[in-house]
Structure 1
Amino acid sequence: MMVLASGMVTALGYNAPSTLAALRAGVSAVQATRWVDTQDGQPIRGARVSLPHWWEGTGKLAELVAPAIHECLQALPADAHARVPLLLGVSSAARPGRPADLDARLLGEVHLRLERAPHPVSRLFAGDQIGCMQALLLAEQLLATGQADHVVVAGVDSFLSAGTLEAYEQRRRLLTAANFNGFLPGEAGCAVLLARRGAAAPDALHIAGWGLAREAATIEDTQPLRARGLTAAIKQALGVAGVGMGDVAWRITDLSGEHYKFKEALLAAMRLDRSTRDGALPLWHPIEFLGEIGAAVLPCLLAWTRHAHLAGYAPGLRALCHIGSDDGGRAALVLQAAPPAGAPST
């Protein structure tokens, strides 16, 4: 598969060019929010999208992601939009503060804003960060079998609601003045337009390999973390792409500020990277600037990787992308600016 276009609505910008330019420059959208940490009375810091008016719920999620999807579709003729399935990653059913009507209403709300009827194959993937990876696998099937010429994979999420913040604060998962091992809450809607590899598209980002696995020692589990799930997902992705860790120039991930994910990424790299390098393998993590964006993170990572290649600031030809969800799901992708010689067009 290859990524042809992207769309983004984030705390850094209302479209992909503005968001990606800010990420490149290292601009942070994190600031004090209107919510207060009950332990020390200080405002909780996070990255909020400045919408025309503030509210919570399914309608807000639709407002975040519909413009990103529309931005993606501008890469295609207008008469082709109705033939593009929408595969949308969202928070899992276990997420505290999740809108009760999200599964029933979100797709309809999004298509209402896009002013088009839903494609018969369009659906939600309720899997937090891994949801969009599951959507990518279905997109690959749709493209490979000719059921679609293009597919939009999008993700939308928000941690900025009272119920969500209260639950994560009680679990000591938020980064606050009283807790240095936590994440900064954020929100975003991000989308990418996918096509089958082989078409003439010099500005495309190619997904050369991917892998999925599960980690038994999750972030809220008491088992010792050995990063077996992430290691397995990366090995699978590298194997599909036919490359090794020594061929990877940089990593782009969903590291959020919690020590768990940094330790996991370090353990996986130590197990797999036996190459000799001049320096450390670069590690990019946009959540540092956008806050935790959950289900929207994978399209964000794909968009940033493509932009880095197009604008000439990528550390090298090939990137390793990896993500993980709280329930133990792990995914990895090998991303590159051009397919390797002799690779099949899938």
Structure 2
Amino acid sequence: MKNKPYLSIVSAGLCTPVGTDLLSATAVIRAGLDHFRETDFRDTINQPIIGSQLYDCQIWGPARLIALAHNVIDESLRNIAVDKKYIVVCLLLPEEQRLGFFPQWSKMIADAVLGDFHTSSIAFSRGKAGIGEALPFLQRTLLEQTAQVALLVGCDSYFNAETIRHFMNENRLLHSENSDGFIPGEGAAAVALALADRTHNQVTILGFDTQLEAAHILQTKLPLRVKSLSEAIDHACQRSHLLLSDTQFHISDASGEAFYFKEISLAITRTLKEKVEHYPHYLIAKSLGETGAASSVMILATLFEWMKHPEGPGNSGLMLSCADSGERTAIILQYQGVE
């Protein structure tokens, strides 16, 4: 910690169907509750699709994601007295090639969200894969002292007719004729990051790594060997100077498909070299459904509030993010109290 190489979460914002601010949303997530309801979308036999939707928000298209992003940014910066031009923002958005999310939307959202912030602010339209690019970028920016605070923001929504139809046709969506699928969700999250110090209670990112898996869910030829996820976990542990057995839990963005649960289970079995009595796997999708580009930031925001709680999951943990395109990101986090 002497050279301050680590990123620490100093504040957060969260907007979800189960709560539109950090405290209310994390309370519901910790309790394992949800707000799943029948939506206006229908499956192949005209049965309603279950979703996790912000039902009171009547804005659609890119304006919906812009509103969500502004909501969490305002909450996360509420107690940070730094001019926006000294805050660098990394905005995670849905994949540009996702059906129902049009390429021009990325620029519209980025222009509306990033305009007032540091000139180095950037948007990644890569869905869940964006976290693997965002963390190195933000760490490098803070170490170079080109900005005082870094803000990681993610927002996404699966509630678009073309998007729903695509995932239903690909047998990826949970509906009356497919039990091995995910529940569509939406929401946004933001975490403010600074270089770690010992003056505040904070959740610190001790190590992270991203590897590319060839045997991902979108291909059918290669067998599942979890090589890349296992490597990402090992490298994140090495950089954090912790063994995986030193962590008390793992949490992931898996959202209902058996492929990802099998992959994570095999990777943990391979990398957890010392036997531990209890190593729970927590899921935000249990309360929120599939939240795509927002999911990794939602996990970080949730852990920021949850890990400092007396009945939290533990002082250190492993976070996993697995993108459909093969990117596998592992992050080791630790709650740091004031000495």
Shorter-chain TM-score tier: over 0.9
Report the Cα distance in structure 2 between the residues aligned to 1:100 and 1:336, rounded to whole angstroms. 37
RMSD over equivalenced CA pairs, Å: 1.7
- 2:173·2:182 contact (CA, 8 Å) conserved in 1? yes
Report the Cα distance in structure 2 between the residues aligned to 1:192 and 1:12, rounded to whole angstroms. 19
SS in 2 for 1:330: strand
1:99 offset after TM fit, Å?
Answer: 2.7
Q: Check if 1:46 corresponds to 2:51.
A: yes
Name the structure 1 match of 2:65: 61
Name the structure 2 match of 1:290: 288
Q: Check if 1:92 corresponds to 2:98.
A: no
Report the Cα distance in structure 2 between the residues aligned to 1:312 and 1:80, rounded to whole angstroms. 34
Query: Equivalent residues in 2 for 1:96-245 (5 A)?
Result: 96-110=99-113, 117-198=116-197, 200-202=199-201, 204-222=202-220, 223-245=222-244
- 1:108·1:118 contact (CA, 8 Å) conserved in 2? no
Report the Cα distance in structure 2 between the residues aligned to 1:75 and 1:235, rounded to whole angstroms. 36
1:54 offset after TM fit, Å?
Answer: 4.2
1:314 offset after TM fit, Å?
Answer: 2.2
Aligned residue type for 1:102: W
Report the Cα distance in structure 2 between the residues aligned to 1:147 and 1:23, rounded to whole angstroms. 35
Q: Check if 1:36 corresponds to 2:42.
A: yes
Q: How many residues were matched structurally?
A: 332
Report the Cα distance in structure 1 between the residues aligned to 2:236 and 2:67, rounded to whole angstroms. 34
SS in 2 for 1:191: strand
1:187 offset after TM fit, Å?
Answer: 0.5
Closer, same or farther: CA 324–52 of 1 in aligned 2, 3 Å: closer
Aligned residue type for 1:11: P
SS in 1 for 2:336: coil
- 1:127·1:295 contact (CA, 8 Å) conserved in 2? yes
Instruction: Name structure 2 gaps, 5 residues minimum.
Output: 1-6
* % identical aligned pairs: 29
- 2:17·2:55 contact (CA, 8 Å) conserved in 1? yes
Task: State which of 312, 315, 324 in structure 1 corresponds to 2:313.
Answer: 315
1:75 offset after TM fit, Å?
Answer: 2.1
Deviations 1:116-148 (A, max 9, x none): 624211110112112133112111001111111
Report the Cα distance in structure 1 between the residues aligned to 2:186 and 2:71, rounded to whole angstroms. 14
Q: TM-score, normalised by structure 1?
A: 0.92
Q: Check if 1:24 corresponds to 2:30.
A: yes
Closer, same or farther: CA 4–265 of 1 in aligned 2, 3 Å: same
Aligned residue type for 1:288: K
Instruction: Name structure 1 gaps, 5 residues minimum.
Output: 342-346
- 2:97·2:103 contact (CA, 8 Å) conserved in 1? no
- 2:32·2:286 contact (CA, 8 Å) conserved in 1? no
Aligned residue type for 1:148: A
- 1:256·1:285 contact (CA, 8 Å) conserved in 2? yes
Aligned residue type for 1:159: Y
Aligned residue type for 1:9: C
Deviations 1:196-218 (A, max 9, x none): 1125112x100000011011111
Name the structure 2 match of 1:344: none
Name the structure 1 match of 2:79: 75
1:10 offset after TM fit, Å?
Answer: 0.8
1:53 offset after TM fit, Å?
Answer: 1.6
- 2:217·2:259 contact (CA, 8 Å) conserved in 1? yes
SS in 2 for 1:310: coil
Aligned residue type for 2:66: A
Aligned residue type for 1:46: G
Report the Cα distance in structure 2 between the residues aligned to 1:334 and 1:225, rounded to whole angstroms. 24
Name the structure 1 match of 2:3: none
Report the Cα distance in structure 1 between the residues aligned to 2:64 and 2:56, rounded to whole angstroms. 9
SS in 1 for 2:96: coil
Report the Cα distance in structure 2 between the residues aligned to 1:205 and 1:193, rounded to whole angstroms. 11
Aligned residue type for 2:80: L
Report the Cα distance in structure 1 between the residues aligned to 2:150 and 2:100, rounded to whole angstroms. 30
Deviations 1:176-197 (A, max 9, x none): 1210111000011111000011
